[in-house]
Amino acid sequence: DAGVIQSPRHEVTEMGQEVTLRCKPISGHNSLFWYRQTMMRGLELLIYFNNNVPIDDSGMPEDRFSAKMPNASFSTLKIQPSEPRDSAVYFCASSLFAGEGVSGRGNEQFFGPGTRLTVL
């Protein structure tokens, strides 16, 4: 089991540039989550998908951020244009959601190694 795969692991870019972060969830998982971690704000949920459909994007900071999940094995988080305050570690996580009201493994999430983004 390869786990959740994120790329790139490190990204350094200049203000105003477009940044695309990529995530491959664990095979068979049907939920995918994007988080941002900073010293000041801790771990923040940005958006999550169930069965490739965005469920809650209330954590997305502003319109410069967008996320897509075109299929069950791939998701992207895009920042356009990037700003220095976007510098953070971005994590992707996946889980197997059995459905509302269904007991089982519940909402255990498996995290990727993260992408450290630096915007100069």
Partner 1 sequence: AQSVTQPDIHITVSEGASLELRCNYSYGATPYLFWYVQSPGQGLQLLLKYFSGDTLVQGIKGFEAEFKRSQSSFNLRKPSVHWSDAAEYFCAVGTLRGANNLFFGTGTRLTVIP
Applying CB under 8 A, the residues found at the interface with partner 1 are 4, 31, 33, 42-43, 45, 48, 50, 55-56, 91, 93, 95, 97, 100-101, 103, 105-114
Nearer to partner 1, 39 or 70 (CB): 39
Cβ at position 49, least distance to partner 1 in Å: 11
From the number of C-beta atoms within 10 Å of its C-beta (0-12, 13-18, 19+), residue 2 rates as exposed
Cβ at position 42, least distance to partner 1 in Å: 5
Strand pairing class (65-71; 74-79): antiparallel
Nearer to partner 1, 5 or 81 (CB): 5
Residue of 51, 50, 86 whose CA lies nearest to 66 = 86
3-state class of 117 per DSSP? strand
Cβ at position 5, least distance to partner 1 in Å: 11
